[in-house]
Structure 1
Amino acid sequence: MSYSDTQAGPQRPAKAHARAAKQRLEDLPAPRGLPFLGNLLQLDPKQLHAQLETWCRELGSTYTIKLGPKRIFVTSSAEIALSALKERPARFRRLSAIESVAREMGTNGVFSVEGEAWRPQRDLVMRALAPYQLESFFPTLQLISDRLRRRWQKSVDAGTDTDVLQDLTRFTVDITTSLVFGRDVNTLETDENAIQRYLGVIFPMINYRISAALPYWRYFKLPQDYRLDRSLHAVRGFVEEMIGHARERMRREPAETPRNLLEAMLALRDEPDSGFSDGDVYANVLTLLLAGEDTTAYSLAWAMHSLAGNPELQSQLHRSAREVLGEARVPASFADMAKLALFEGVAFEAMRMRTVVPLIFLEANENAELAGIEIPKGTPVFLLTRPSTLDDNNYRNASEFKPERWSGPRESNRDGHNTKAFLHFGAGPRFCPGRYLASVEMKMVLATLARGFSVAYAEDPNATREVLAFTMMPSRLRLRLAAIA
């Protein structure tokens, strides 16, 4: 049964909306709320995506909610979402609370910055994460992947369960710090997890503050706010130390091209009239650390969660890994990446069914219209990304985990695979610049896993719940690994 089969509300296509008379937000269905408070008390920030998806099934694909006096436009229509995303940054922007919170935390980088400041930062990050740059980074990626393999082997030898979420966040922290700073922090082998621990405080607090009804922390602070301050201070100290080392290295050993992303940022910062400040450098470094750790690690965790319940698929992946890697335990060359399409399919299926970006928060910069619905200036727009990917109209047998659906040539909807319904990396001008790096990392980890290990649940899989902490993460994930030849 498709996701849309369970929706009680009318499901008119977006084109039918466009032909109909214009609607106001007040004309749309809405869940019952309380006077003055609206739906505020019905929403738990950690389960926001789940509650909005529930209302989507009850009310239809497009509806409104009220948070106090503020009316919010909510839609799970992929066509409406694409229309809004393609009109950024002119007619729509990220929710203004995101930039406000990021700015006061000192993290207003390429993800959250708006207006004229966005494009030069975007261009810089896109150049740094281009495929040809990642090819030169492959030996480091290979080294860190092998450390993850050895960590898992130690768990197997000791006969202990594996805290997969912790291992994967260590892996992505090591990858990101190496790429950004050119520094090997090696949390996988040293168990030094200070940066990982601090980053783990910051991301959930960003989500909490964005969702807060009142910015109380600007007037008084709770223990969680002091913990955030300490984490931000520690991470800033780490980044400033890295900036000092990079500047000294650039002075002592000048290079024709930057050796890492931080050097590229500093070189741009030092150009006359660059418009790029020290604060911009720090904000973008922290943005990359946060985004590089969480989204990839959580997507891999959900992929492994799915694999643990599918021994047949694991056997298929093991055979494929043997064909590509031979006797090697991790991919041996960057050219191997092109041979791991099935593993990319596993990653994309996990992102389709358990997307770590279940919500995209936008806001109208001006009076706008979406599918015949008037969107007044300043209206928050919440895009639900998962319902369209769980709809049989977009993905044939959408409830089934089928990595092969991502392999080979596809045409939208002709074979039950509507690529436009997949919004994990966004769309339009602000498409995620880290998509290619994330794909390479996920293929490396999943191929390494399949080549050397089988995986099974170490506890009831229902103990793993979805938790929204800006991105959607597993509440916990303990698996039992076994070595295979």
Structure 2
Amino acid sequence: MGLLLTFFLLLSFAALLWLLRVLKPNPWPQKSSNLPPGPNPLPVIGNILELGQKPHQSLAKLSKIYGPLMRLKLGSMTTVVVSSPEMAKIVLQKYDQLFSSRTHIDATRVLDHHKHSVAWLPVGNQWRKLRKLCKENMFSVHRLDGSQDLRREKLRNLRDYVKDCCGNGEAVNIGRAAFTTSLNLMTVTLFSKEFASLGSADSSQEFRDIVCGIMSLTCKPNLADYFPLLRLTSDSSTPKNDMLEALLQINQKNESEFSLNDIKHLLLDLFLAGTDTTSSTVEWAMTELLRNPEKMSEAGNELRNVVGQNEEIQESDISRLPYLRAVVKETFRLHPAAPLLIPHKAVGDVEVNGYIVPKNAQILVNVWAMGRDSGVWAKPDVFMPERFLETETDVHGQHFELLPFGGGRRICVGLPLAYRMVHLMLATLISSFDWKLEEGLKPEEVDMDERFGLTLQKAVPLKAVPTQL
């Protein structure tokens, strides 16, 4: 209690100092080490109060004042925020190796997950081994092409579910339906078994609540992240052609090389990355299309002309659907699943654009801010898929103005599967159905508020009523 009381007294004192600074702001003097510019930090807590409930938006506003390479003090942690494609290219490509480590958020330390996770491990032999294993056993073109039938069946289930809702005149909770489909796509790929039913509101909701809770806690400011002294210390069957079977075979060949504990942590990474991010992107895409009926019509007409109104979309069709791909890219631009990516860490002092990024600094790449930068995009706040029809810009980490999956050696290993799943689910929803907002809600009245976490979720779920074409 004494420590807690002391902290809150310090917090109150810092809040008073912050109010005084608001009334009379003064620039943060540059130190001799030539660190990047940034807002003047308060004693003890630094710039924590400036993050607010939506740090990606707060940091975007601050970057307009202090520039695309900005320094903050979050408690005792030095944080450098990257907010432009040019700075992102330097950090994620030119000095990729020097910025390839990870800042370990306290929530990731539960059960030592940070010591086994492909997402949080530093670059090294263990990380390379896990990346290679994922690429060869799950995300290679050969593996993905070989498991198309599994995904096709789950997409057929989604289509049948929407048909049932048409017959009953029921609204579809787009986010929940997309999450359940994503969950089943992942579980049949991993375990040859689906975990939830689209017709049951409860069958996937508990799992979704767990995933969303983990994503929220992982990115929510935690005192132990900013003040390390507060951190607690702690010490059968028929073979199936799925990911688990492949992992178990590798384990049986050499348990010391790849243990059962490694498998558990890897499966957690895959579940978190493969369900919530995909479903939230589909929900945001449907939200934007419902707010822009002419864009919805354009995407639907393309699908019916290329694939056929009553035909199932094949994964090979994605390359023949430029407008659908443009819709997905525009959704990634406005609503990136991970608005600040996963934090990077500098492994040494690095000079970037004339400034020194100090060793062990946390690096946040604000892809949300970059997607809404008027210096990069015309009419950045307007949903305009057409902007991508005449450009080669893609999401594979080579075009730094659009980095929903990150870039460099830490680019999302699951990108090939996520790319297919988002396009397939969105196409399934709009190819054979017309949609309207429930209860006569007007497009301009759709709530667009965001709920911040490691993933950027829609605060108010999207519900829409389908009709069969």
TM-score by length of 2: 0.82
1:353 to 329, 334, 341: 334
Q: Deviations over 1:419-441 (max 9, x none)?
A: 32111111111221221211211
Tell me how far 1:310 sits from its aligned partner: 1.0
8 A contact 1:76–1:384 mirrored in 2: yes
SS state at 1:187 partner: coil
Question: 1:334–1:478: structure 2 CA closer, same or farther, 3 Å change rule?
Answer: closer
1:365 to 330, 336, 347: 347
Residue of structure 2 equivalent to 1:53:
60
**Which has the higher mean CA deviation after the structures are superposed, 65-74 or 283-292?**
65-74
Question: What letter is aligned with 1:309?
Answer: R
Tell me how far 1:75 sits from its aligned partner: 2.1
8 A contact 1:101–1:210 mirrored in 2: no
2:142 to 129, 132, 154: 132
- 1:106-125 aligned within 5 A: 108-114=116-122, 115-125=124-134
- 1:96-115 aligned within 5 A: 96-97=104-105, 101=109, 104-105=112-113, 108-114=116-122, 115=124
SS state at 2:466 partner: strand
- 1:139-178 aligned within 5 A: 139-178=149-188
1:201 to 192, 209, 213: 213
Q: Deviations over 1:92-141 (max 9, x none)?
A: 31213369526535784211122321001001111211222112221221
- Count of residues paired in the alignment: 424
Tell me how far 1:155 sits from its aligned partner: 2.9
Q: Deviations over 1:184-215 (max 9, x none)?
A: 22432344224334323322222237675457
Residue of structure 2 equivalent to 1:379:
361
1:336 to 317, 327, 338: 317
Residue of structure 1 equivalent to 2:399:
419
2:448 to 464, 468, 475: 464
Find out whether 1:92 has 2:100 as its counterpart. Answer: yes
Find out whether 1:261 has 2:243 as its counterpart. Answer: yes
Find out whether 1:181 has 2:191 as its counterpart. Answer: yes
Residue of structure 2 equivalent to 1:218:
232
Question: 1:66–1:144: structure 2 CA closer, same or farther, 3 Å change rule?
Answer: same
Tell me how far 1:219 sits from its aligned partner: 7.7
Name stretches of at least 5 consecutive residues in structure 1 with no aligned partner: 1-21, 221-247, 413-417
Question: 1:390–1:42: structure 2 CA closer, same or farther, 3 Å change rule?
Answer: closer
Question: What letter is aligned with 1:104?
Answer: D
CA RMSD, Structure 1 to Structure 2 (Å)? 2.9
Question: 1:453–1:48: structure 2 CA closer, same or farther, 3 Å change rule?
Answer: same
Q: Deviations over 1:165-202 (max 9, x none)?
A: 11111111111111111112243234422433432332
CA distance in 2, matches of 1:155, 1:70: 50
SS state at 1:425 partner: coil
Question: What letter is aligned with 2:335?
Answer: R
SS state at 2:194 partner: coil
1:78 to 72, 82, 85: 85
SS state at 2:78 partner: strand
Residue of structure 1 equivalent to 2:69:
62
Q: Deviations over 1:229-262 (max 9, x none)?
A: xxxxxxxxxxxxxxxxxxx23xx54xxxx71111
CA distance in 2, matches of 1:189, 1:63: 48
SS state at 2:144 partner: helix
SS state at 2:413 partner: coil
Question: 1:27–1:184: structure 2 CA closer, same or farther, 3 Å change rule?
Answer: closer
Find out whether 1:483 has 2:467 as its counterpart. Answer: yes
8 A contact 2:318–2:325 mirrored in 1: no
SS state at 1:471 partner: coil
Tell me how far 1:40 sits from its aligned partner: 1.7
SS state at 1:155 partner: helix
Q: Deviations over 1:265-317 (max 9, x none)?
A: 22222223762121111101110001001111111111111001111111111
CA distance in 1, matches of 2:255, 2:89: 35
Q: Deviations over 1:339-362 (max 9, x none)?
A: 233212211110101112210311
SS state at 1:189 partner: coil
SS state at 1:386 partner: helix
Q: Which has the higher contact order (CA 8 A, sep 6+)?
A: 1
CA distance in 2, matches of 1:320, 1:37: 53
8 A contact 2:165–2:466 mirrored in 1: no
Residue of structure 1 equivalent to 2:10:
none
Question: 1:195–1:70: structure 2 CA closer, same or farther, 3 Å change rule?
Answer: closer
8 A contact 2:166–2:468 mirrored in 1: no
- 1:39-50 aligned within 5 A: 39-44=47-52, 46-50=53-57
Question: 1:429–1:441: structure 2 CA closer, same or farther, 3 Å change rule?
Answer: same
CA distance in 2, matches of 1:320, 1:367: 51
Q: Deviations over 1:356-405 (max 9, x none)?
A: 22103111111222222112211112211123332344334433323233
Question: What letter is aligned with 2:399?
Answer: T
Question: What letter is aligned with 1:399?
Answer: D
8 A contact 1:340–1:443 mirrored in 2: no
SS state at 2:451 partner: strand
CA distance in 2, matches of 1:399, 1:292: 27
Question: 1:85–1:177: structure 2 CA closer, same or farther, 3 Å change rule?
Answer: same
8 A contact 1:454–1:482 mirrored in 2: yes
Question: 1:152–1:217: structure 2 CA closer, same or farther, 3 Å change rule?
Answer: farther
TM-score by length of 1: 0.79
Question: What letter is aligned with 1:261?
Answer: M
CA distance in 2, matches of 1:273, 1:289: 23
SS state at 2:45 partner: coil
Find out whether 1:302 has 2:284 as its counterpart. Answer: yes
8 A contact 1:364–1:377 mirrored in 2: yes
Residue of structure 2 equivalent to 1:428:
408
CA distance in 2, matches of 1:23, 1:350: 40
Tell me how far 1:263 sits from its aligned partner: 1.6
